[in-house]
Amino acid sequence: MSDLIAAILLVPLCSAALILFFFRRDADTAAKLSVGASAVAMVLALFALFQNIEIDAARISWLKLGDFELSFGFLLNGDARLLLFVVTFVGFWIHVFSLGYMRDDPGKARFFGGLSVFMFSMLGIVVADNLAMLFVFWELVGFSSYLLIAHYFHTDEARAASKKALVINRLGDIGFLLGIVLTQVRFNTLEFAELEQAALAQPELLTAGLGFLLICGFVAKSAQFPLHVWLPDAMAGPTPVSALIHAATMVAAGIYLLVRIDFLLVQEVFSLIALLGGAMALYAGFCALVQRDVKKVLAYSTLSQLGYMSATVAIGMSGLAMFHLATHAFFKALLFLGAGSVILGCHHEQDVFRMGGLRKRMPWTSWTFLLGVLAISGVTFTSGFFSKDAMLLAAYEENLPVFVMFLVGALLTALYMGRLHWLIFHGESRSKAARQASESGLTIIAPLVALALLAVLGGFVSLWPESLSSVFVQELEHVHESTGNRLVMTFGALAWILGLWGSWNLYARTRDEDPLMKKAPVFFRLCESKLFFDEVYDFCIRRPLRHVAKVFEALELLFISGLMVRGTAGIVALLGLATSAVHRGGLRVYALWFVVGLVVLLGYALAWWEF
Amino acid sequence: MNDFKLYAEANDWGLLVPEISLAFGALLLLCREALRKQGRESGGGLAFLLQGGLLVYFVARYLFFDPRPDSAGESAFNGMIQQSFPADVMRCFFLGCAFLTSLFANPGLRERRLPQAEFHALVSLAAASMMLLVQSNHFLMLFVSLETVAVCFYVLVSYHRGSPYSLEAGLKYLVFGALSSAILLFGIALLYGTAASWSGGTAPSDPLSFTMLEQFVAANSDSLAVRAGTAFVLAGLAFKLGAAPFQAWVPDVYQGAPTAVTAYLAVASKSAGFVVLFNLVTGPLFGLREFLIPLLSLVAIITILFGNLGALTQTNVKRLMGFSGVAHAGYLLVGIIAAIGMHPDVPEKSVFWAIVFYLLSYSLASYGVFGVMGVLAPTEDADQPRSLYSSLAQKQPFLAFTLAVGLGSLAGIPPLAGFIGKLLLFVVAFQAELYGLLAVMVMGVVIAIYYYFAWIRETVFPPLPSLDSSDKEPQVLWSPQFPSLLLACILGLLTLTTILLGFYQSSLGQSF
Amino acid sequence: MNEEILFYLFSTLMLFGGSAVVLSRNPVNAALYMILALVSLAVLFLTLDAFFLAALQVLVYAGAVMVLFLFVIMMLDVDLRERSRPNIMAAALGLVTTGAVVAILLTWVGEGSTIRPSVGSVPTPGNPLAFVTGSKAFGYALLTKYMLPIQVAGFLLLVAMVGAILLGRRTKLKSSEGKDGS
Amino acid sequence: MDGVLGIEEYLVVASILFCIGLLGVILRRNVLLILMCLELMLNAVNLALVAFARYSGNMDGVILTFFAITVAAAEVAIGLAILVALYRRRKSIFLQDLNLLGR
């Protein structure tokens, strides 16, 4: 069994290595290799799923020093199975999509190599059985994400975005690493199974501080407040990358981490996550409402959905969060790929106000996209309905403020997703590119159809194999037994009906300006400025604390320019200049150094003697 | 005279077969050079053969004949020499370094028409004396072998005698080397003098021997003379390590020396210094641990900060490697401090393993990087701006990959050997509860990522056409050559080992 | 008493010579002062009963090393006098630091033993390396106990010889002469 | 041997000579003189070593001195060789002119 898992990991790795070493110039072979690898990984993963055996950890010792040991091993429980399936399945279809999308890209080989590296590292996170191994793959995922965002490295935007993503993720990772070290110190193990027992045995060792450190990684990777700023920018990468990494899988890895280590977190941490998650579900919805770039809308939508998931984990329903993670992966990948298809059809036009009327020219894309929109809005009997309804119910039971935020979030979701669909596919074509758009080939359409199928049917639990649905089915039944069932379902239905209806009224007949700008200018400005996030921040924090802020700024410069941000000549650079200034080759200066050093040492010897 | 007879009988030359064969190999090279016909240049084949052969001998000895992982070591030559498993590992290490240095230097020597036989002889002799240095258990032996190493390096550093850079580097190295050896000798004299004229107990019969000094120092740890002597000895050694504030020579000498020699200096000479320091602080000076820990901590902190900050603004990659070498010395010093500050129940061996592994990963990565630098070096070896490497990945993907892996390992990027090395040091520092030093180390590593990555980016990503206002096309001044097949194989091997050691090393450490 | 007079006389001479080396502007003068210092040191060795070393000191240092210096000075055959005064900062720092070294050493002086044991002409059986004046015991020690270091030192001299020949050889080299003077 | 002279006297002289050498290394700009000052330092150590050996009645210090003299001679030989080679390239032996590195 662990051989099978190892094979799943190794197949993408081999593909990446082969591409790196042999097929850098031969882009077509590289692409075929990568797609083939992801197909093989998917088949193997399906094998692994249906062999419903609890894995016995065949662990390989990786690093040993005294009684400190790190090892590689696999832990394949229900959550891991589910995510394994989602990652390989969605990954495979996105690989196929990329074949068409990246057909004429000069960096095609590099792109597919990067995808393979990403698949390897993401799967590593899924199956890792201890925090150290997880962290290694976590970093690898960050690295491959950096590479893929920077795919169009000749544009300033992509370079800046990749840098931003890396820096912010690193900031989070430092906290995460400290948390891991602290865990090792407290529990003397990093293995999930042992940690769980240890946490049960000694609950007094779990503190809020440890929890806050550990969730730093989650906050950065899942783009939660206040480290959310990198995700919208990351849309500078190619669309399949946005679909795979920044919507369906990598950002979900943060949620997965929460689920894996939830026994290490205490109530305070969970309350904070719930609050942040609910707020993010709401905040990102407002932001998404006014974006003009189709990918940015989807990016904010992702932020909002991640908020749902994290809040759900925090109120104790991690199974439901995993369920939504899976359904979200299907429909969000579908939406991104649909957007990709549109962008490709419109010759890389991404402004929704320069599209329109594509329904007739791109029927496949239009229909599948519509299904995606319905799913994410939670229209009854689509996959999104089941998972979102369950989350609403859970929130209703456990945490009323979060429920309210969820509900408004759901309304907003329907509103901005409807807006997106009407603006792209209905009305008149508002630009030349849109008038000339046409459907692309089979490699583009097939993934759309496959994902649309799951986006619609993925909510029917009875269709899921037992090995996967076991993760959430109990919690699902539990929430459905609750008293608020009817009420919540009604509210949910109201939310999507209102949202879609509102968006139809507002946007279906738009010409080339956002109608919201005219009808509710204040609201529009508010949303456009991301709720004056930056201004409020500036007013409340920066101005009164300018002097303090300067210090922090300096510190930030120190650390961020240390973390490979080029061009920020901060304090470190100054110090560096000063340091190298004394190494200007003067032998006598050096000799003086020497003697001063000697005197310091001797003085120390003398002083010691005096004490 | 009976005692002298006993002395003579204790000289068991069989224990030093590798060193003796290296020395005779060097003699053979010199003789052959003296007798050769005019106009026929002799290559380094003999030297490679000898060094490679000895390496195989060592490995075979431990694989098949004499696996003695847990031996306490044996003393020979009247206490001059103490053999042990860790010392043997280091002997192997120096042989490997010598082999790589000879190999990497050969093309440059041939191109500059410099005598090759002498170079290889000097490299072999330096290796032999470093091998003796790490085994020495007596201050006289230590001094003599240390000076032999130093004299070899004075010549090697200034070997490109056509270049004023190389000669200047040699001169600087010599002046500071001589200064530090005078200081070291003064320290030895102080320790010797106090031990020999100690009236408190029975004066040790051989006051220069580490074993005897250990007892003396432990009993007299509050004597000022002992402390002053220790401070002098440490200052002398700190020069070898390139530890602050005795680091000033490092960037200049690293820049001016021929690239292969720079690698030898950075890796072998520094490692020898660390092993000697380790032997001293865990042996004769162990009684002074209360005194040593704050002192060495201070030195380590300054060294880490200085090395990393200095490297930050360097554009000449050889100077950059010099500064970063200083930083690595700082990390290793933390390991040394951990060795003396350790909890009594944590074995000293695991600290030594951490240090050795760090040295190993550092040497693999450094030789990879210096090897590539040697291949790409322009006519003037000392003049290597970073822009020389711009878009190397497009021209020579193999070299760029080797370089990137080497730099990544030096920076401590996770799956590579350098990361494990740093991790091991972190772990021992953690076990020794050196939290402040740990924080400084982390800071240093963070800064280091910046300058290593600036170089990697220069190598891997093509320059932006129009980010700056000047719209000039980057001029391609030179097209890098592919190295010879042997060199390429060795570079590939180094890279591969760097990657593999990141995944598999846990059982290697068991022997320690 | 003789010994005391010798000590004070020659240590004064030696320190004078040393200071003159540091202070004199002309290297030829410096070399001559250096010889003075070295020979005085040899006499101090004599007062310490280290006759062999005293001879060695005169032969190696005053004889060989200083002749080498003078030889190089003559060979370069240019005006080698320093024109600029020493830097005040450097001088001050140097004085402070060296003063610190002396101060530390003086603090300590009381700790050692001050009584010289008497010297025999042959080593005693229990303590083969007791201090003796004869060079015979010196030889015995070097060739038995210190056999390994003496071999290493031999190689050290070999390296020095090879190095000096290599570096001092005047041959045409493919070099980067054009960069000189930059 | 009446023992009027103590080891202190020798050590004081040795450490003063050591410091004179050190001072010379810092202050002088002529490389030849720097080399001479280094020799002075080594000689100072030799004096201390011999005095220690004599006063403790132990031979090892004298033998170490023997090695120190050997080493010093070797260092001077190499140093002067480098100096001569450098003089041929740069036509100067003053520190301010020998400073190509680190620019």
Summarize pLDDT for B449-489 with one digit per residue, the tens.
878 888 887 887 665 544 444 444 444 445 566 677 888 88
Average model confidence (pLDDT) across chain A: 78
Which of A297-311, B147-161, B214-228, B475-489 has the largest mean confidence?
Answer: B147-161
Between CA A139 and CA C36 the distance in angstroms is 68
Last residue of a domain, one of C38, C55, C79: C79
Query: pLDDT at position B361, please?
Result: 93
* pLDDT higher than 50, residue A583: yes
CB of C149 within 8 A of CB of B140?
yes
Buried b (16+ CB within 10 A) or exposed e, B382-407: bbbebebbbbbbebbebbbbbbbbbb
Cβ-based contacts of B162 with chain C (< 8 Å): 173-177
pLDDT value for A263: 82
Q: By the CB < 8 Å criterion, does D103 face chain A?
A: yes
C-beta of residue A488 within 8 angstroms of C-beta of residue A410: no
**Residue scoring higher pLDDT (B244 or B120):** B120
Yes or no: say if A373 and A480 are a contact pair by the CB < 8 Å rule. no
pLDDT digits (tens, 9 = 90+) for A313-344: 888 888 888 888 888 888 888 888 888 888 88
Q: How far is CA A79 from the centre of its chain?
A: 17
Helices D7-27 and A587-610 meet at what angle, rounded to 10?
150
From the list B147, B162, B206, the residue facing D71 with the nearest CB is B147
CB A97 within 8 A of CB A450: no
> Using one digit for the tens of pLDDT, what is the confidence trace for A483-515?
777 888 888 888 888 888 888 877 777 666 666
Distance from C145 to chain B by nearest Cα, in Å?
5
Chain C residues with CB-CB distance to B147 below 8 A: 156
Instruction: Give the angle subtended at the CA of A38 by the CAs of A257 and A96, to the nearest 5°.
Output: 110
Q: How many helices (H) and strands (E) does chain B have?
A: 20, 2
Tell me, what's the ipTM? Answer: 0.81
Q: Does C82 touch chain D (CB under 8 A)?
A: yes
- Which of residues 161 through 190 in chain B touch C, CB cutoff 8 A? 161-164, 167, 170
Residue D79 has pLDDT above 90, yes or no: yes
Quote the pLDDT of residue B64.
60
Nearest CA in chain A to C97: A599
Residue B410 pLDDT grade (very low, low, confident, very high; cuts 50, 70, 90): very high
Q: What per-residue confidence (pLDDT) applies to A562?
A: 42
For β-strands B74-76 and A60-65, DSSP reports them as: unpaired
Predicted pLDDT at B463: 57
Cross-chain CB nearest to B225 (options C108, C144, C148): C108
Per-residue exposure over B480-505, b if at least 16 CB sit within 10 Å of its own CB, e if not = eeebeeebbebbeebbebbbebbeeb
- Cβ contacts below 8 Å, chain C against chain D, sum to 248
| Residue A561, φ and ψ in degrees, nearest 5 | -70, -25
What average pLDDT does this structure show over B205-220? 84
- Residues of C in Cβ contact (< 8 Å) with A603: 100, 104
Tell me how far apart the alpha carbons of residues B374 and B378 are, in angstroms, rounded to a whole number. Answer: 9
Q: Identify whether D103 is part of a domain.
A: no
Subunit contact A584:D103, Cβ cutoff 8 A: yes
Closest Cα partner for B251 from B329, B171, B163, B311?
A: B311
SS3 A293: strand
Query: Please, what is the average pLDDT of chain D?
Result: 85
Helix axes B289-312, B270-282, angle to 10 degrees: 160
Quick one: DSSP state of residue B344?
T
Residue D86 near chain C (CB below 8 Å) = no
Q: Does the beta carbon of D27 lie under 8 angstroms from any beta carbon of chain B?
A: no
Query: Which of C48, C64, C79 is a domain's end point?
Result: C79
Residue B469 per-residue DSSP state: S
Cβ pair C10, C45 in contact under 8 A: no
Chains with ≥3 Cβ pairs under 8 A against D? A, B, C
C107 interaction partners in chain A (CB closer than 8 Å): 606, 609
pLDDT band with cut points at 50, 70 and 90 for residue A403: confident
For the ranges A419-433, B255-269, B323-337, C39-53, the lowest mean pLDDT is seen at A419-433
Which of B247-256, B260-269, B498-507, D6-15 has the lowest average pLDDT?
A: B498-507
pLDDT > 50? residue C179: no
First to last CA, chain C: 61
Q: Check residues B494 and A379 and name the one with the higher pLDDT.
A: B494
Q: What is the mean pLDDT of residues C109-116?
A: 58
Nearest C-alpha neighbor of A409 from the set A420, A398, A419, A417: A417
Asked if the model's pLDDT at residue A516 lies above 50, the reply is yes
Q: Higher confidence at residue A263 or residue C165?
A: C165
Q: Are B129 and B152 in contact (CB under 8 A)?
A: yes
| DSSP code at position D94 | B
> C99 and chain D: CB distance < 8 Å anywhere?
yes
Shortest Cα–Cα distance, C13 to chain B (Å): 22
Domain CATH for C41: 1.20.120.1200
CB-based contacts of A552, cutoff 8 Å, min separation 6: none
What is the nearest CA distance from A237 to chain B, expressed in angstroms? 17
Tokens of A132: 């150290």
The set of residues, in sequence order, having a beta carbon less than 8 Å from that of B181 and lying 6+ positions away, is: B143, B146, B147, B150, B236, D42, D71, D75
Stretch D61-76: mean pLDDT: 93
Per-residue pLDDT of B72-108, as tens digits, reads: 567 788 888 888 888 888 888 999 999 899 888 888 8
- Locate the domains of chain A by residue range: 532-568, 570-611
Q: Does A597 touch chain D (CB under 8 A)?
A: no
Q: What is the pLDDT of residue D89?
A: 83
Chain-chain contact of C104 with A596 (C-beta, under 8 angstroms): no
- Enclosing domain of residue C2: 1-79
User: How many CB atoms neighbour CB D45 within 10 A?
Assistant: 29
Rounded CA separation B170/B155 (Å) = 7
Q: Taking CB atoms and an 8 Å cutoff, what residues of chain B touch D67?
A: 140, 143-144
**pLDDT of B504:** 76
Cα angle vertex A553, ends A550, A558, to 5°? 130
pLDDT band for position B334 (cuts 50, 70, 90): very high
User: In sequence order, what are the residues at sequence separation of 6 or more whose Cβ sits closer than 8 angstroms to the Cβ of residue C110?
Assistant: D8
With 0-12 / 13-18 / 19 or more C-beta atoms within 10 angstroms meaning exposed / middle / buried, residue B69 is exposed
A584:D29 CB<8 A: no
* Bridge partners for A400 per DSSP: none
Strands (E), A1-103: 60-65, 68-72
State pLDDT tens for residues A365-400.
888 888 888 888 888 788 888 888 888 888 888 888
Rounded Cα distance between D21 and D16, Å, is: 9
Q: What is the spatial distance between Cα B401 and Cα B391, in angstroms, rounded to a whole number?
A: 12
Q: How many CB pairs under 8 A join A and C?
A: 26
Number of residues in chain C: 182
Answer yes or no: is pLDDT of D55 > 60: yes
D2 inside domain: no
3-class state of residue B76 by DSSP: strand
Task: Give the span between the Cα atoms of A369 and A333, in whole angstroms.
Answer: 10
Of chain A, the percentage scoring pLDDT greater than 90 comes to: 0
Closest-CA distance, C119 to chain A, in angstroms, reads 35
**Which among C107, C162, C169, C180 is the top mutation candidate for probing chain B, defined by the most B β-carbons within 10 Å of its own β-carbon?**
C162
Facing D24 at nearest CB: one of C21, C41, C167: C21
* Domain boundary pick from C47, C79, C111: C79
Total number of residues shown for chain A: 611
Look at residue B245 and tell me whether its pLDDT is greater than 70. Answer: yes
The gap from C-alpha B431 to its chain's centroid, in whole angstroms, comes to 25
Mutate which: C65, C175, C177, C179, vs B, most B CBs within 10 A = C175
**Please, are residues B338 and B278 in contact by the beta-carbon 8 Å criterion?**
no
Asked if residue D77 lies in contact with residue D67, where contact means CB atoms within 8 angstroms, the answer is no
CB contact under 8 A, C156 and B148: yes
Closest chain D CA to residue A590: D26
Note the helical H segments in B197-316. Answer: 210-219, 224-241, 249-256, 259-264, 270-282, 289-312
CB contact (8 A) between residue B224 and residue C148: no
Q: Tell me which chain A residues have a C-beta less than 8 angstroms from the C-beta of D22.
A: 595
Question: Regarding beta strands A68-72 and B74-76, do their DSSP bridges make them parallel or antiparallel, or are they unpaired?
Answer: unpaired
| Nearest alpha-carbon partner for B227 in B285, B161, B169, B266 | B285
Task: Enter the tokens of residue C172.
Answer: 């045409």
B192–D52: do the CB atoms touch at under 8 Å? yes
More confident residue, A32 or A538: A32
- Which residue in B has a C-alpha nearest to residue A25's C-alpha? B394
Closest in C114, C164, C170 to D6, CB measured = C114
Residue of A nearest to B414 (CA): A136
Q: Which of C22, C132, C174 to mutate to test the interface with D (most CBs of D within 10 A)?
A: C22
Residue B446 has pLDDT above 50, yes or no: yes
Chain B nearest CA to D4, separation (Å): 17
The mean of the pLDDT values for chain B is 83
C68 within a domain of the structure (yes/no): yes
Tell me whether D59 touches chain C (CB under 8 Å).
Answer: yes
Angle (nearest 5°) at CA B157 between B360 and B185: 80
Flag the least confident range among A593-602, B324-333, C117-126: C117-126
Is residue B5, in this structure, part of any structural domain at all? no
Measured between beta carbons, which residues in chain A are less than 8 angstroms from residue D100?
Answer: 585
CA-based end-to-end distance of chain B: 41
Chain CA centroid to CA B424, Å:
19
8 Å CB contact of A595 and C87: no
| CA atoms of A209 and A595, how far apart (whole Å) | 47
Q: Find chains touching chain C: ≥3 CB pairs under 8 Å.
A: A, B, D
Facing residue for C167 by CB, picked from B111, B155, B383:
B155
C158 contact D CB<8A = no
Residues of A in contact with B179 (CB under 8 A): 591, 594
Select the more confidently predicted residue: A206 or B217: B217
| Facing residue for D26 by CB, picked from A584, A585, A591 | A591
Examine the pLDDT at D76 and tell me if it is beyond 90. Answer: yes
Tell me the residue range of the domain where D21 lies.
Answer: 7-97
Is position C69 within any domain?
yes
Provide the pLDDT for residue D36.
93
Position with higher pLDDT, A570 vs C82? C82
Pairing of the two strands A68-72 and A60-65: antiparallel
B402 has a pLDDT exceeding 80:
yes
**CA dist A589 → A141, B51, B181, B242, D92 (Å):** 47, 39, 19, 16, 19
pLDDT in tens, B300-329: 999 998 888 888 778 888 989 999 999 999
- The CA R_g of chain D, rounded to the nearest whole Å, is 17
- Report yes or no: B393 and B329 within 8 Å, Cβ to Cβ: no
The whole-number average pLDDT for the span A60-75 is 70
pLDDT of residue C17: 94
Residue A144 in tokens: 């491959």
Burial (Cβ within 10 Å: 0-12, 13-18, ≥19) of residue B283 = middle
How many helices (H) and strands (E) chain C has is answered by 7, 0
